[in-house]
Amino acid sequence: MSDQAPPKCGLVAVIGAPNAGKSTLVNQLVGQKVAITSAKAQTTRARMLGIALHDEVQMILVDTPGIFAPKRRLDRAMVSAAWEGAVEADAVLLIVDPVKQRRHELIPLLENLKGRPERKYLVLNKVDVSKKEPLLALAQELTEMADFAEVFFVSALTGDGVPELKTHLASLMPEGVWHYPEDQVSDASERLLATEVTREQLYRQLHEELPYDSAVRPESYQTRPDGSVEIHQQIVIARDSQKGIVLGKGGSKLKAIGEAARAELAEILGVKVHLFLHVKVDEKWSESREIFEEIGLDWVK
């Protein structure tokens, strides 16, 4: 942080239909992996905060869960967490995938944004695979619907256009002391991040067979005397019939999930990781207040 300019600190809410590329964009802005990115929609379950730094500016990114029509309790909590993120933001980014668009989800989002007081920015993602004319037409159409202050064209995947977006966001942030010390780049605790990484592997390796009603719970997280980390986690599923899917033949699937998660965690944390996973069946887990609070969501009646 430079001595000349006063520090600035603000909140940026990131919203969009599922799979619009929000998590990837947050990771680009922060410069490291904080939000879990899965090819399966709706996997940003907790209100993951990424903290982006730009000179003397700290931007707290609320990577809100994809906002979709709520069906059951879990979904309702995700939706309320998403809107809650946009309540007190200094800027709201609406990320749109111009290829898939998902208009049935995009239109309600625009309706909701229309009357909101925050400065709103439209971010059209995936410009690396989109044609220019339809992109410009879409930008104009959506801006007319929700009064965006500006439109940014980016590729969250390649990072194209992201520095310009980051610089602009930094210029909007109000003066104020930093909420997080410089070394605490993501306030998603390592414990929560560890469960996110395991959950990502669970979806990545079982995305066809395993529905959404599974959770990964942190049981313990300890640093051993040699500096390595020992992590115990529970994979909670809703039906006994799913147990075989998660375990695989002779436990091979669970082992593969554990090994991939362990390798990724070791890379993120920079230390050796000992990861122990076990599977538990709990038919009512998606109604459990305790599990909700563990994965960073508010309990919604």
- d(CA 297, CA 294) in angstroms, rounded, equals 8
Whole-number pLDDT of residue 64 = 57
Whole-number pLDDT of residue 11 = 81
Mean pLDDT in the chain?
78
Q: Which residue did the predictor score with more confidence, 239 or 274?
A: 274
Would the pLDDT of 149 be above 50?
yes
- Tell me the helix, strand and coil percentages in the chain, rounded to 5: 40, 20, 40
Whole-number pLDDT of residue 70 = 47
With bands split at pLDDT 50, 70 and 90, how would you rate the model's confidence at 22? Answer: confident
Q: Let me know: does 213 contact 223? Beta carbons within 8 Å.
A: no
Whole-number pLDDT of residue 289 = 65
Would the pLDDT of 296 be above 60?
no
With bands split at pLDDT 50, 70 and 90, how would you rate the model's confidence at 32? Answer: low
Binding-site annotation, residues: 16-23, 63-67, 125-128
Strand 214-223, strand 229-237: pairing = antiparallel
Residue type at 187 in one-letter notation:
D
How is 32-48 classified by DSSP, letter by letter? S--S---SSTT---S-E
Q: Let me know: does 245 contact 182? Beta carbons within 8 Å.
A: no
> What's the token pair of residue 2?
């430079």
Whole-number pLDDT of residue 188 = 47
Whole-number pLDDT of residue 40 = 42
Binding-site annotation, residues for GTP: 16-23, 63-67, 125-128
With bands split at pLDDT 50, 70 and 90, how would you rate the model's confidence at 41? Answer: very low
Q: Which residue did the predictor score with more confidence, 51 or 192?
A: 51
Q: What is the pLDDT of residues 192-211, one digit of tens each?
A: 678 878 888 888 888 767 65
Q: Which residue did the predictor score with more confidence, 89 or 79?
A: 89
Whole-number pLDDT of residue 293 = 60
In this prediction, residues 178-189 reach a mean pLDDT of 59
Could you list the beta-strand ranges (E) of 107-199: 120-124, 150-153
With bands split at pLDDT 50, 70 and 90, how would you rate the model's confidence at 66? Answer: very low
Whole-number pLDDT of residue 241 = 86
- d(CA 252, CA 246) in angstroms, rounded, equals 9
Cα–Cα distances in Å, from 56 out to 92, 119, 159, 177? Answer: 21, 21, 22, 10
Q: What is the pLDDT of residues 95-134, one digit of tens each?
A: 998 888 788 878 878 887 887 777 899 999 988 888 888 8
Whole-number pLDDT of residue 230 = 93
Whole-number pLDDT of residue 88 = 62
For residue 24, give the nearest of 104, 145, 128 by alpha carbon: 128
Would the pLDDT of 157 be above 70?
yes
Whole-number pLDDT of residue 301 = 43
Would the pLDDT of 282 be above 80?
yes
